[in-house]
Structure 1
């Protein structure tokens, strides 16, 4: 795994990592700045565990490439994030994607609870002031 990856690091000469957005079993997603186009992007760092066999690493790389190709083909779908680029830095694959502004699952759950706790007014209540 690329544990030494850190904010400020530049990937492939143009994607400057800003902050970590999240991580999982296969890698982590960063907010990054595309210094060529001057836009913010999401960059998915895929981890290849050192104890993996060459076959397992090749399968994970192939899966990453397939994921990126499929997402790129479906880039006009409203529920699929757009893929801008796939790059390899120091033997590790990175998928560069459209950055979607929003909030994570915890913040979303808090928002939904807050909305449910608000009183619901009957139709005439708002107009009459009661």
Structure 2
């Protein structure tokens, strides 16, 4: 959801459902669950799910990987709980940024060319 889009209850509910479903899962399983959530959410809203599913998948994989890198980088320099929180935030921010960028790019590419 970007700043210029209206609030979507469907998106908010699907985010909660997928967050609960991905808790404790690996990157691959989380990406698949998130992509399924994007497809269901798009279907409920009557939208073509293709760009949402692709961007969600890439965002999930890259965000999850970033979270693991952050966690590994912190090592034992901070408490485990703190490391988990920092890596989760970093992974989530990365996932959201990548997903939004990819979706925006795909949506732009889908627009008809003006002559």
User: Same fold judged by TM-score > 0.5?
Assistant: no
Tell me the TM-score range normalised by the shorter chain: under 0.3
Normalized per residue, the structure richer in helix is: 2
TM-score by length of 2: 0.28
- Kindly name which structure, 1 or 2, has the bigger radius of gyration based on alpha carbons: 1
The structure, 1 or 2, with the larger RCO (C-alpha pairs under 8 Å, 6+ apart) is 2
